[in-house]
Structure 1
Amino acid sequence: MPKPDLILHIGQSKTGTSSIQRVLGARREALAGLGVCYPLSPGWANHGLLPASLVPLERLGHFHPNVWEGLAPAARLARFRAAFAAELAALPASTRLLLISAEQMSGLLDTEESLGALRDLLAPHVGSVRVVMYLRRQDSHFASGYTQALRVGHVGPPMLPPAGPEQRRDYDYHAILDLWARVFGEAAVQPRIFEPESLLNRDVVDDFLAFCGIPLEVPKDDPDRQSNLSLTPGGIDLVRAMAEALTATPAGLNGSSPLWRRFVQAANEHLPGRGWKPGPAEAAAFLARFAAVNEAVRRRWFPDRPSLFAPMAVPEGAAPAAAASPIDRAAALTAALTLILRETEAAMAREAQLQSSIGRLRERLGEHDGARTAWRAALRADPAHPMAQQRLAEAALANGDRATAEAHLAVLKAAHPAHPLTQRVARMVAKAAHA
């Protein structure tokens, strides 16, 4: 039986990897129908468990605690190894392509030994191999990754670091690609440029699917395309201010604690924005440190491009790098008020839904008084909650109280005129009126 081809998508982070992975994870069945396996055992979307299983445990401190599913990392990785081996052994005969995506591969697997272990693990199950990595201009990548650093508790001020490829090995793209080429072969390594002009339809999801030869249509407005967004400037100041406040507490700031994770998750949900951008002169000075390694990548993998990345436009007289900016307390306060308002609205919606579920359960148990109490509690959180309004209207009709039912119907018509429950109550009220 012929073995499927293998595509290893190794990053880079902040190049649409989360969007690609979420699109693939949400469409496993459709992919299987096209002869493509996007394995589940390494992760629902991000296959980070695979590279994590090939390095010492002490290197995995930055992994989100949810990855371990409540287990010790060693136990979770042992379970993964067994599940992954079984999944590969059970690949259907119709599988033509095995697709693995984890941006951690380009960061964690940084020696010939670790890459050799990956190659040897997969070799018995696959045929030809392609390795794809999207490259983003170093200054742009660092600026985009600043929000990601905030999420894990690295809360320094927004500024580009005074470092070049000797200190920032993650930005030495030539060294990374050369390592993968030495292990998997020169022809296997096929990097791409993460710039709108270089992407199919100016979109990384479309570009990646075309690269893989996967004829999968993903609507432009699909929410999976919008993943891992940055923050507004005020949101960044708010996160910095919260980190400052937590640092002053006895417990301190713990970037992996559930409290911090939940706070930054809420900030990202309610304060999405374009993040922080360095000034053009600061960006140009940072990028200049990587000119030699970028040129080496261009000569080796992109000989037809005049430069690896599109040239930067630096206006004459652009200001040099500014000092680290202090927290803008006014912007942080405005962001905090927005966050509190939206979290309160979300909490009220959750409360209404919870009470609605309690009402349905009590109704099934025959506890009609308790059910009505729960419906009323739902309306205190959301006065126009359609199910609570409908259930109370029907309860009123069952007691012969048409006036109360009509009052509930009036609320439904005002708030949810086209809702099926509004139409149901209207029919019941009309029927009662003609009885």
Structure 2
Amino acid sequence: MAPDLILHIGQSKTGTSSIQRVLGARRPALAKLGVCYPAAPGWANHGMLPASLVSLDRLGHFNPALWEGIGAAARLDRFRRDFAAEMAALPATTRLIILSAEQCGGLLNTPEEVGRLRDLLAPLARRLRVVVYLRRQDQHFASGYTQALRIAQINPPTMPQAGPERLGQYDYARLLDLWAGIFGADALLVRIFERDLLRNGDAVDDFLALCGIDLAVPQDDPDRQSNLSLTPGGIDLLRSMGAWMKATPQGLSAASPLWRRFVQAASETLPGRGWRPHPAEAAAFLGRFEAVNEAVRRRWFPDRPRLFAPLEVPEGPPPGAGPPPVDQAAALQAALALLEREMRVGAEREANQHAAIGRLHERLGESGPARTAYRAALRAVPDHPVAQQQLAEMALADGDRTTAMAHLAVLQRAHPDQAATRRLAQRLGTPAT
């Protein structure tokens, strides 16, 4: 019997990256449960799937690294072959296929485009279902501001002066009508992205429950923490760096490897809540979608008094006109934190390289060069565990217990829980700390 298929189309900024990373990292465990999370469309995000159904000129915002150096056309042709082969090779025990790509909602905008996707997937499954999470428009736009910065759109943070007629991505009634018209209303599983309405207040747990998958994912699992926003200082830093790069001869581009490396480093160093508009500004924006949201409520959530939780607007005057300027002091503090982290990461990378060279010299029986390499590692990172351990072992081999004990003292202070530290302590007859 053919498996069921669940197509998760987003929206973006509703925990999609976390869901995708959790699923991508657990393919073997899912396979044991009879669930296939295909690899051909992407390791985590299955963006190749909708990308293969539109013209190439629509893919300018895609990360160029996805094309793996062979260009979009050739890479998408390979995806089509690989995906067909992967689906043909599904084991008989597969009961469910899951596909997840928030780009579906952004790229596939016409009945013809959505119909091409349905025609591609229908032969694979006995039943198709489409999962979509809806987030209140003001929250979604504010959350997406950081993502816009990441793709080199360095506009100042402010809510747009437009409604559904120009911001079609926020016309949820049209979105749901489009997909229901192609897949059928009964196939749509529509969820509201609000903590009180999600299983355990979490998008990953909610999606797994929706799919009927009994898979334990610890709350502190790093895959749950994906695509985080930035601190206010981090946002100001990206705005400042973007403006500076824009004025350089090479210019600013989302495709720039330099910009992407900078954004990744800033995201890892400065995670935060992102930009938050003034409630009065958010309320004015949200009010333009009142009719759209009421249409969605009537059709899909008739038992709810309103589609989304209300926005609380405090009393008092609204903020001053115009977007906020860059806070140079906050940008500087963020830059210093980023610089410190990059220096530390660089030192660790250098130390690891020296330690690897030391291990190679040891395998070749060259103890002198090995010691030199390990000591170079310690100049970069004084408590580097491999270098400290190997130098201690070499000292023991030479009968120099005093030096070995000195290295052990560093390991016990800096890396007390490592197995190598405990083994060395046992060899030296020293109680573990």
TM-score (norm 2): 0.96
Q: For 1:357, what is the secondary structure of its paired residue?
A: helix
Once residues 317 and 194 of structure 1 are traced to their aligned partners in structure 2, the CA distance between those partners, rounded to angstroms, is 29
Whether 1:28 aligns to 2:27 is yes
Change (3 A) 1:32 1:421: closer
Corresponding position of 1:381: 380
Corresponding position of 2:306: 307
CA-to-aligned-CA distance 1:2-59 (integer Å, 9 cap, x gap)? 2111111000000000011011111111111111111110011110000000000111
Which residue identity is paired with 1:365? L
Once residues 215 and 403 of structure 1 are traced to their aligned partners in structure 2, the CA distance between those partners, rounded to angstroms, is 54
Which residue identity is paired with 2:199? L
Once residues 188 and 85 of structure 1 are traced to their aligned partners in structure 2, the CA distance between those partners, rounded to angstroms, is 23
Whether 1:231 aligns to 2:230 is yes
Once residues 215 and 357 of structure 2 are traced to their aligned partners in structure 1, the CA distance between those partners, rounded to angstroms, is 41
Q: For 1:293, what is the secondary structure of its paired residue?
A: helix
Change (3 A) 1:233 1:107: same
Corresponding position of 1:5: 4
Q: Is the 8 A contact 1:157 1:325 kept in 2?
A: yes
Q: For 1:131, what is the secondary structure of its paired residue?
A: strand
Once residues 413 and 189 of structure 1 are traced to their aligned partners in structure 2, the CA distance between those partners, rounded to angstroms, is 56
RMSD of aligned C-alpha atoms? Answer: 1.5
Q: For 1:324, what is the secondary structure of its paired residue?
A: coil
Corresponding position of 1:398: 397
Once residues 293 and 409 of structure 1 are traced to their aligned partners in structure 2, the CA distance between those partners, rounded to angstroms, is 67
Which residue identity is paired with 1:52? A
Corresponding position of 1:290: 289
Whether 1:317 aligns to 2:352 is no
The farther-off stretch of 289-298 and 364-373 is 364-373
Q: For 1:191, what is the secondary structure of its paired residue?
A: strand
Once residues 392 and 319 of structure 2 are traced to their aligned partners in structure 1, the CA distance between those partners, rounded to angstroms, is 67
Percent identity, aligned pairs only, is 68
Once residues 350 and 48 of structure 2 are traced to their aligned partners in structure 1, the CA distance between those partners, rounded to angstroms, is 35
Once residues 403 and 138 of structure 1 are traced to their aligned partners in structure 2, the CA distance between those partners, rounded to angstroms, is 66
Which residue identity is paired with 2:112? E
Flag structure 1 segments of 5+ consecutive residues without an equivalent: none
Q: Is the 8 A contact 1:279 1:321 kept in 2?
A: no
TM-score (norm 1): 0.96
The farther-off stretch of 345-354 and 274-283 is 345-354
Q: Is the 8 A contact 1:280 1:318 kept in 2?
A: no
The farther-off stretch of 290-299 and 408-417 is 408-417
Corresponding position of 2:141: 142
Which residue identity is paired with 1:123? A
The structural deviation recorded for 1:156 is 0.4
Q: For 1:132, what is the secondary structure of its paired residue?
A: strand
Q: Is the 8 A contact 1:281 1:321 kept in 2?
A: no
Matched pairs, number: 430
Corresponding position of 2:252: 253
The structural deviation recorded for 1:418 is 4.2
Aligned pairs for 1:59-70 (under 5 A) are 59-70=58-69
Once residues 320 and 397 of structure 1 are traced to their aligned partners in structure 2, the CA distance between those partners, rounded to angstroms, is 69
The structural deviation recorded for 1:429 is 4.5
The structural deviation recorded for 1:60 is 0.6
Once residues 180 and 417 of structure 1 are traced to their aligned partners in structure 2, the CA distance between those partners, rounded to angstroms, is 56
The structural deviation recorded for 1:316 is 2.4
Once residues 226 and 33 of structure 2 are traced to their aligned partners in structure 1, the CA distance between those partners, rounded to angstroms, is 25
Which residue identity is paired with 1:102? A
The farther-off stretch of 394-403 and 101-110 is 394-403
Q: Is the 8 A contact 1:352 1:382 kept in 2?
A: yes
Once residues 277 and 417 of structure 2 are traced to their aligned partners in structure 1, the CA distance between those partners, rounded to angstroms, is 49
Whether 1:167 aligns to 2:166 is yes
Q: For 2:391, what is the secondary structure of its paired residue?
A: helix
The farther-off stretch of 202-211 and 265-274 is 202-211
Once residues 123 and 167 of structure 1 are traced to their aligned partners in structure 2, the CA distance between those partners, rounded to angstroms, is 33
Which residue identity is paired with 2:415? H
Which residue identity is paired with 2:86? E
Corresponding position of 1:213: 212
The structural deviation recorded for 1:162 is 0.9
The structural deviation recorded for 1:140 is 0.4
Change (3 A) 1:379 1:321: same
Once residues 146 and 199 of structure 1 are traced to their aligned partners in structure 2, the CA distance between those partners, rounded to angstroms, is 24
Which residue identity is paired with 2:361? R
Which residue identity is paired with 1:373? T
Flag structure 2 segments of 5+ consecutive residues without an equivalent: none
Corresponding position of 1:96: 95
Q: Is the 8 A contact 1:11 1:103 kept in 2?
A: yes
Q: Is the 8 A contact 1:146 1:276 kept in 2?
A: yes
The structural deviation recorded for 1:321 is 6.4
Change (3 A) 1:363 1:280: same
The farther-off stretch of 160-169 and 399-408 is 399-408
CA-to-aligned-CA distance 1:98-154 (integer Å, 9 cap, x gap)? 111000001101111111111111111111111111000111000000000000100
Corresponding position of 1:180: 179
Once residues 199 and 318 of structure 1 are traced to their aligned partners in structure 2, the CA distance between those partners, rounded to angstroms, is 34
The farther-off stretch of 233-242 and 178-187 is 178-187
Q: Is the 8 A contact 1:9 1:103 kept in 2?
A: yes
Q: Is the 8 A contact 1:282 1:321 kept in 2?
A: no
Which residue identity is paired with 2:163? G
The farther-off stretch of 417-426 and 58-67 is 417-426
Once residues 44 and 413 of structure 1 are traced to their aligned partners in structure 2, the CA distance between those partners, rounded to angstroms, is 39
Corresponding position of 1:340: 339
The structural deviation recorded for 1:381 is 1.1
CA-to-aligned-CA distance 1:297-350 (integer Å, 9 cap, x gap)? 111111111111111111223415641111100000001111111121111112
Once residues 286 and 220 of structure 1 are traced to their aligned partners in structure 2, the CA distance between those partners, rounded to angstroms, is 34
The structural deviation recorded for 1:427 is 4.5
Once residues 159 and 247 of structure 2 are traced to their aligned partners in structure 1, the CA distance between those partners, rounded to angstroms, is 26
Q: Is the 8 A contact 1:237 1:327 kept in 2?
A: yes
The structural deviation recorded for 1:96 is 1.2
The farther-off stretch of 226-235 and 400-409 is 400-409
Q: For 1:218, what is the secondary structure of its paired residue?
A: coil
The structural deviation recorded for 1:215 is 1.4
Q: For 2:261, what is the secondary structure of its paired residue?
A: helix
